[in-house]
Amino acid sequence: MMICPDFSELAALEALGALDESSRDALLRHLAECESCRADRATFAATWGVFGYSAPAAPVAPELKRRLFERIGRETSAQPPVVQMGPHRRGRRPKAPSRVDRWAIASIALLIGFSGALVSVGFLARQVAEERQQSQHLASELSNRERQVALLQAQDVRVASLAGQPPAPGATAKVFWSPRESAWVVSVAKLPPATTGKTYQLWAVTSSRKISVGTFQTDAHGAALIEAKLPLSDRLAAAAVSLEPAGGVPQPTGAIVLLGTF
């Protein structure tokens, strides 16, 4: 038989949303008849409600919930039995739980609520940091795209189409070069990723020399977008891409994979 202390503990659990349907029904039936337990329920609900305005909702940590149920189980089993005064007397109404007992249960509720609030704050802080990092990355990407579009729209821009050579016959590339800005933007497609220890190297070819514009790698789909600065005093005749040792070389030594003229 459940007594008032049992229902007082159920009231605390109800404030946490931790009761199953049958236990909640039993509690509601008891509250209809017991003013003391109704007061306990109102106290727990008000205490727990404070946290509704302090942080977003967060699930109760399983370990804290387990310890709470274990403590309630121990305290319930330790309650004294109902004393019978005689064969024809009804059992004496058990003494309502003391204010100290009620506030002990409320303190447990507060502890769980505070832990949930800390978890929520930590989660929100990580979200804000991730979103700030993503925003900075997007701002950088936007700046790059705006610079590339400005180059493509420059009045002096020159364009070369590079065709795949025997090592990569399906590869293609477009080279956009602005002599005034000394700027290069190169879009590569269908060029297989370089083998281990190798890199692709872009060359500016003039009538007298081959000048390295920089090295790059393609992604799993064979694509790359390269942006570089290279002032030229000689007349530019062509552009080429070769496969070279990692880190690049002063002059081409490997197979030419892309080639085109201006």
Say how far apart CA 4 and CA 6 lie, in whole Å: 5
Residue in 247, 241, 250, 246 with CA at minimum distance from that of residue 167: 241
Say how far apart CA 42 and CA 48 lie, in whole Å: 10
The residues, ordered by sequence, that sit 6+ positions from 6 with a Cβ below 8 Å of its Cβ are 76, 79
Just give the CATH number of 158-261: 2.60.40.200
Which helix (H) or strand (E) segment is 67 a member of? Answer: helix 62-77
Residue in 258, 79, 86, 97 with CA at minimum distance from that of residue 168: 258
State the DSSP code for 95: P
If one compares 112 and 217, the residue with the highest pLDDT of the two is 217
Say how far apart CA 181 and CA 158 lie, in whole Å: 12
Tell me what pLDDT residue 2 has. Answer: 58
Average pLDDT over residues 121-150: 71
Say how far apart CA 162 and CA 240 lie, in whole Å: 7
**Lowest-pLDDT range of 33-37, 170-174, 196-200:** 33-37
Tell me what pLDDT residue 151 has. Answer: 67
Q: Spell 21-42 as b/e; 16+ CB within 10 A means b.
A: eeeeeebeebbeebeebeebbe
Residue 82 confidence class, pLDDT cut points 50, 70, 90: very low
Q: Whole-model pTM?
A: 0.48
If one compares 26 and 68, the residue with the highest pLDDT of the two is 26
If one counts every other C-beta atom within 10 angstroms of the C-beta of residue 14, the result is 20
If one compares 205 and 17, the residue with the highest pLDDT of the two is 205
pLDDT at 200 over 90: yes
Q: Spell 190-219 as b/e; 16+ CB within 10 A means b.
A: ebeebeeeebbbbbbbeeeeebbbbbbebe
Strand order across the beta sheet in which 236-245 lies: 210-216, 198-206, 236-245, 256-261, 158-164, 172-178, 183-189, 224-229
Helix (H, G, I), strand (E, B), or coil: what is residue 84? coil
Tell me what pLDDT residue 249 has. Answer: 97
**Candidate ranges 3-17, 42-56, 185-199; pick with highest mean pLDDT:** 185-199
Residues of the chain with CATH 2.60.40.200: 158-261
